[in-house]
Chains A and B, each alone.
Chain A
Amino acid sequence: MTEPPLLSVEDVEVRYRVTSGWFGGADVHAVNGVSFSVAEGETIGIVGESGCGKSTLGQAILGLTSVSAGSIKLRGTERDHSRRTHMQIIFQDPQSSLDPRLPVWRLITEPLHIRGGYARKELIDRATELAVSVGLRPEHVDRYPHEFSGGQRQRIAIARALAVEPALLVLDEPTSALDVSVQAQIVNLLLGLQAERKLSYVLISHDVSLVRHVADRVAVMYLGQIVEEGPALDVLDAPKHPYTRTLLDAVPSFERPLASIAARAGELPSNRTLPTGCFYRERCPWATTGCELPQLLVPADGLRAVRCHLVTGVNETAIPRLASPSASLLPNGAGT
């Protein structure tokens, strides 16, 4: 029997009802059957555009959003308590993730304060220790959040997440709200902490170059599904799924001229009513027969899995088989 992975997400679905209008609401299909696992010390990147369900997935992992189907296991168990002590989350906006009325020492030790049983002195000492470990100065712990810049606030949020010595951090767009020069400081801090503490990261981001830099493996999400998954450099340097290709083409770069994106590719479909067949069909420039069938995420080559029959030759009705020659159906010219 093998050791269960640190985190395993199995067929997770998140649906919730929004009450809009007077005549009932609509179901939002935020996450539609996502599976992946994270090993100790590993970083998995989750890439996608707004509305693809990546943030909802992150909150579901932490138990902040309830899961409609599937399971989330930490070292093989599903208990809430172990999730809380072994996983923490860093939010995008350090401005709003710190209570403006509490001093820094109190913010950093919030998880311990909630648990209770610590004296004020103990909390301050622990906060000072944590503050120093994220590159703040000891005297910073007596100040209030508004006295800090965005990057320093994100450091405070990271120190707070470390207070309970978690094994895994969910990083929800940890640098998106920061200036470019400060982003690098935070990325370096995260890389350093990982090396020091053998942390695992689930890095949720729309920033492809950040994910490429930090992640070991990457999952590309579209409309609540993973459309492509594999080693970060494989997927991001030579994408196979049509959506991954469009996404990477659109990423602004010094080396390429402005991409000409088809107008239909620039509009995300609604997650209120899911499309039939391949979710990406309506925006896909290579859509053809077979795309009206639901697509499966199956291995394409080596460690990579793709949800597109043009790449894998597998449709729901067909018998799964490994990598296929039909990948050459796709026109060339995508990728970096």
Chain B
Amino acid sequence: MAVDGIAAPRRAAPRLGIGRLWYRVKGSPLTLIGAAIGLLVLIVIIAAPVLAPYPPDKISLSARLAAPSLQHFFGTDEVGRDLFSRVLFGARASCGIAFAIVIISTVIGSIVGCLSGVIGGVVDTAIMRLMDVFLALPALILAMALAAALGPSLFNAMLAVAVVRVPAYVRLARGQTLSLRNRTYVKASRSFGASPGYLLRWHILPNALSPIIVQATLDLGGTILTAAALSFIGLGAQPPTSEWGSMVSSGRNYFLDQWWYVTFPGLAILVSAMGFNLLGDGLRDMLDPRLGGR
């Protein structure tokens, strides 16, 4: 066979990898800020015991409701616990939970959605109508109802929020599946006799992943808010666990005189939620196929 048809291939282009991603991130300062915040949160979650100057639940009645100072960067609460340390440890509860929730709902949602798209027919219709019902209920109310029914605890709140988030992923994954199912390479694979399970494992799931990852990143911000809201109304983390939502909740009684009590945990919620939203938006813009090879 004639091999002279093939000259040296074009200069090997990197896949959609670190290099290309970095090129695009450089052009978008907001994404960089988002990524920095995300990284910071991760570091805090892992290294909270090292970074925190005091144990989070060390009571010091002599230093109750102290204003921010060099000893206590964020001040102290009504039993003299160091708010800075509590905010750092709170990241574990608040953001850790958000990660867990998003991972649970992403995995369940993607699998159900892809299956629904691949199987089609009655199963697909049944699943999608059930999801429509879930989506018709306000998310926070549904989460509250579930959390109240299961009993107030961090774990139950997490479960409740995860369930509420699932339908969005089911729809996203199903939409991806339906469009991927008509790709020529999926058709080709079918012509070789591939089963639906094979198509799902090798062609549909891997290619449906990037929009799902973007959605998950965008959701992290919202999930942090929902988890905090549940704790705020007492359905989530229970004292003495340090969690941003419940800290804001107990601090609201002191808001007028001891502003730092609510402000710092509140800021932590705001900054981390915003950070993940910025990162998600940036990722979406970068992974958007319509932007082509820029």
- Physical contact A–B (CB less than 8 Å): yes
Q: Which of A86-111 contact B (CB under 8 A)?
A: 88-89, 91, 93, 96-102, 110-111
**Selected interface stretch from B119-127, B192-200, B231-239, B260-268:** B192-200
| Contact string against A for B residues 78-117, beta-carbon threshold 8 Å, 1 for contact and 0 otherwise | 0000000000000000000000000000000000000000
Tell me whether B50 is interfacial, beta carbon within 8 Å. Answer: no
B23 within 8 A of A: no
> In residues 4-41 of chain B, which contact A (Cβ within 8 Å)?
5-6, 9-10, 12-13, 15
Interface string of B177-207 (1 = CB under 8 A from A): 0000001110111111111001000110011
Query: Which residues of chain B come closer than 8 Å to A192, judged between CB atoms?
Result: 1-2
Residue of B nearest to A95 (CB): B184
* Docked-complex contact B188 and A89, CB < 8 angstroms: yes
Determine if B5 and A185 form an interchain contact, defined as CB atoms under 8 angstroms apart. yes
Tell which of B193, B194, B206 has the most Cβ of chain A within 10 Å.
B193
Q: Which secondary structure dominates where chain B touches chain A? A: loop
Q: Return the chain A residue nearest B204 by Cβ.
A: A99
> Does B70 make an interface contact (CB < 8 A)?
no
A110-B192, A185-B5, A189-B5 given; A147·B206 CB < 8 A: no
Min C-beta distance of B120 to chain A, whole Å: 13
CA–CA, A148 to B17, complex, Å?
17
Contact A96 B189 (CB under 8 A): no
A121 smallest CB distance to B (angstroms)? 19
When distances are taken between beta carbons in the complex, the residues of chain B under 8 Å from A143 are 9, 12
Inter-chain CA distance A281–B40, complex, in Å, is 74
B291 within 8 A of A: no
- Least CB distance from B200 to A in Å reads 13
Check A64/B191 contact, CB under 8 A, given A100-B207, A147-B9: yes
* Complexed CA–CA distance, A308 and B193 (Å): 40
B192 touches A64 (CB 8 A): no
Taking CB atoms, residues of chain A closer than 8 Å to B202 are: 99, 102
With contact pairs A99-B203, A143-B12 given, residues A135 and B6 touching in the complex (Cβ less than 8 Å):
yes
Give the CA-CA distance A275 to B192 in the complex, in Å: 37
- Nearest chain A residue, comparing its CB with the CB of B207: A101
Task: Answer whether residue A16 sits at the interface, using C-beta atoms and an 8 A cutoff.
Answer: no
B189-228 CB contacts (< 8 Å) to partner A? 189-195, 198, 202-203, 206-207
How many interface residues does A have (CB within 8 Å)? 46
B193 with A97: CB separation less than 8 A:
no
B256 within 8 A of A: no
Q: What's the minimum C-beta distance from B178 to chain A, rounded to whole angstroms?
A: 14
Q: If A84-B191, A147-B9 touch, does A97 touch B1 (CB 8 Å cutoff)?
A: no
Contact residues in A for B194 (Cβ distance below 8 Å): 110, 114
A160 within 8 A of B: yes
A96 neighbours in B (Cβ, 8 Å): 183-185
Q: Contacts of A59 on B, CB cut-off 8 Å?
A: 187
Whole-angstrom distance between the alpha carbons of A100 and B184 in the complex? 12
Is A137 in contact with B12, judged by CB distance below 8 angstroms? Answer: no
The answer to the question of B3 belonging to the interface, with a C-beta cut-off of 8 Å to chain A, is: yes
Interface centre among A147, A155, A196 (most CB of B within 10 A): A147
B-chain residues with CB within 8 Å of residue A81 when the two chains form the complex: 193
Taken residue by residue from 189 to 222, chain A's Cβ proximity to chain B (1 for < 8 Å, 0 otherwise) reads as 1001100100000000000000000000000000
CA distance A273 to B5 in the complex (A): 47
Q: A135-B3, A144-B15, A189-B1 are in contact. Are A84 and B188 (CB under 8 A)?
A: no
Taking Cβ atoms with an 8 Å cutoff, the residues of B that contact A are 1-3, 5-6, 9-10, 12-13, 15, 183-185, 187-195, 198, 202-203, 206-207
Closest 10 CB pairs of A and B: A111-B192, A97-B184, A185-B5, A96-B184, A99-B185, A84-B193, A114-B194, A101-B206, A91-B184, A62-B191
New contact pairs (20) apart from A114-B193, A135-B1, A152-B6, CB-CB < 8 Å: A59-B187, A63-B191, A84-B193, A88-B191, A89-B191, A97-B185, A99-B202, A100-B207, A111-B192, A111-B193, A114-B198, A132-B1, A133-B1, A135-B2, A144-B15, A148-B9, A148-B10, A164-B192, A185-B2, A189-B2
